[in-house]
Every structure is written in structure tokens, then in C-alpha cells.
């Protein structure tokens, strides 16, 4: 079966999508392990309390942080969803995106994901490769 030739417009789009796919793959291979290594050991235990304290102490700063974190969280979430179909670490990227975002009952969702044996094993494997202590779950 011979595929029809792509018009120049679609060819440019396909090339752009291919480039985005490669950049996403390489970026996730570099950024995700680095981010996981930078998180404190008790991140999944203490994070909720720290956020609540910060909101009480600095309400304006809390709003700014809320907008920035949700923006980055949304980017990571969308990139993770894309990585389910494209090359990359989709589930881990989705987990990081959700962890960055603030929404009701987020911590129940994060806890359910983080306690999955394969997810916990992968996170702690990435930390061990960086000579970091495994997460306290």
C-alpha cells in the first residue's frame, strides 16, 4: 500500500509533532529524575501541612504561588498524558503534575497513586540512582 504524499502544510505539522515528541522524551528523561531527587524524603507526608501554614502566613504570596504551581502542574499533567501515547515517563509525569497542583482532595489521589507498588518502586529506584534516601510513604 502506498501512502499519499503529504501536502507541505501537513508535512511541516508532522515534522513539528515529531520534534515535540523527541524534545518531550529527552526532557522527561532529564527533568523527571532530577525533580524526584530534589524532593525531600517526607514530601508526600509533610507537604500538605506546609501548604496550609504558608497560606495562613502570607495570603498574597499564597495566591501567587497557587497560580504558578497550578500552571506548572497543568503543564506536567498534560505532558504526562501525552507521554502515555508518546515516548516518555507518562505516569510519573502525571504524578508530579498532580502533586504540584492544588485542588480539593488532591492528597487522596496522590496517596492512591504513590502507594501503587510499581509507582513507589520506580520513584525509589530513581532516588537510589541519585544516592538519595527512598521516600517515606
Listed residue (109, 115, 86) closest to 97, CA to CA:
109
Which cell goes with 21?
515528541
**pTM of the full predicted structure?**
0.56
pLDDT of the chain, 137 residues: tens digit per residue: 555 665 667 778 778 877 887 887 788 778 888 888 998 898 887 777 777 787 788 788 888 888 998 999 999 899 889 888 877 678 878 878 887 888 888 878 878 888 889 988 988 998 999 999 998 87
| Residue 27 to residues 12, 32, 71, Cα–Cα distance (Å) | 22, 8, 18
Query: Cα–Cα distance between 27 and 18 in angstroms, integer?
Result: 14
Amino acid at each position: 500500500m502506498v501512502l499519499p504524499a503529504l501536502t507541505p502544510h501537513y508535512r511541516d505539522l508532522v515534522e513539528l509533532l515529531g520534534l515535540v515528541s523527541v524534545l518531550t522524551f529527552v526532557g522527561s528523561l532529564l527533568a523527571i529524575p532530577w525533580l524526584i531527587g530534589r524532593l525531600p524524603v517526607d514530601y508526600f507526608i509533610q507537604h500538605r501541612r506546609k501548604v496550609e501554614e504558608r497560606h495562613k502566613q502570607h495570603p498574597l504570596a499564597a495566591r501567587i504561588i497557587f497560580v504558578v504551581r497550578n500552571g506548572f502542574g497543568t503543564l506536567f499533567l498534560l505532558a504526562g498524558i501525552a507521554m502515555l501515547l508518546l515516548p516518555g515517563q507518562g505516569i510519573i509525569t502525571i504524578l508530579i503534575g498532580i502533586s504540584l497542583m492544588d485542588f480539593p482532595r488532591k492528597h487522596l489521589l496522590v496517596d492512591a497513586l504513590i502507594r501503587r507498588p510499581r509507582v513507589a518502586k520506580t520513584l525509589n529506584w530513581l532516588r537510589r540512582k541519585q544516592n538519595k534516601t527512598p521516600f517515606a510513604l
